[in-house]
Amino acid sequence: MRKSYRVKKEKEFQYVFKNGKSYANKKFVVYVLVKEQPHFRVGISVGKKIGNAVTRNAVKRKIRASIYEMKDRIDPSLDFLVIARPSVSNLSSKEVYSNLLHVFKLSKIIK
């Protein structure tokens, strides 16, 4: 994903945390904030409880790939954060996709 599709700065993360609405399932927590912009932006957070750097980066790649597959269905007026819970580390790409799809439907990110 291009940099314009990412929430990168700490200030932006905190703004979405404080002003956004949260939704969760057993594998992910998602914070959603509606904004006026041409396309959606996503921030991904994978904590140290997930595992070492190699494991965390693998989880982030799976999340990014899943979001990339769904990008045409995602509401463009949103900033959202995806936070992985510790049980995500041993999931396959298909399972990550299905769990993200579930939480995105709960939060109405997917149209």
* pLDDT tens digits, one per residue of 49-95: 999 999 999 999 999 999 999 989 998 899 999 999 999 989 999 99
Please, where are the H alpha helices in 3-74? 10-19, 53-70
> For residue 24, what are the contacts with CB-CB under 8 A and spacing of at least 6?
30, 103
- 2 domain-assigned: no
- 5 domain-assigned: no
Domain CATH number, residue 51: 3.30.230.10
Question: Could you tell me the pLDDT band of residue 1, with boundaries at 50, 70 and 90?
Answer: low
Residue 23 CA to residue 26 CA, distance in Å, equals: 11
Domain count, the chain: 1
> For residue 94, what are the contacts with CB-CB under 8 A and spacing of at least 6?
none
- 78 domain-assigned: yes
- 3 domain-assigned: no
The C-alpha angle with vertex 41 and arms to 29 and 82, in degrees rounded to 5, equals 15
Domain holding 73, by residue range, is 10-107
